Amino acid sequence: MSETSTSVPSAINCQVPHFRAAMTGEREFDLANYAGRKIVLYFYPKDNTPGCTAESMAFRDLHDQFVAKNTVIFGISRDSLKSHEGFKTKLGLPFELITDPDEQLCNLFNVIKMKNMYGKKVRGIERSTFVIDESGMLVKEWRGVKVPDHAQAVLDSVS
């Protein structure tokens, strides 16, 4: 990943710093390429886990409705591109997945948290979703997301 500012979007209606990152489809995500469209970025902990699978399938199932609202969707986790490609194929995801193994995007959006896993404290991604408007402004965020009905709530928020 390159050209990433170290600033964290800290408030709604703030400009999201320009960033680029590797994503599935042998492509590179570049924030500037999506000017004029709304962007949904959903951060999730790990490919092929129950909650992340359910969340990705929910976004998949609503994809056409997001497209009708001039909105593109991207999933982001620390998994490798190889893992992402397999996950995307397995679930038939019609959108790309961004890899963030060095946590630059996770830090940019402040989604790394200490979590309890089987009684141990571990650093992990707090399931979070962000909507960026056509001009690159952060207009909505959800943190500590619970998967049921979340994708629908995100869809309802984009007009």
Instruction: Report, as residue numbers or ranges, the catalytic residues.
Output: 52
In angstroms, the CA 23 to CA 52 distance is 17
Half-sphere exposure of 113 (CA within 13 A, CB side): 14
In angstroms, the CA 87 to CA 77 distance is 12
What Cα–Cα distance (Å) separates residue 47 from each residue in 43, 83, 98, 152? Answer: 11, 7, 12, 21
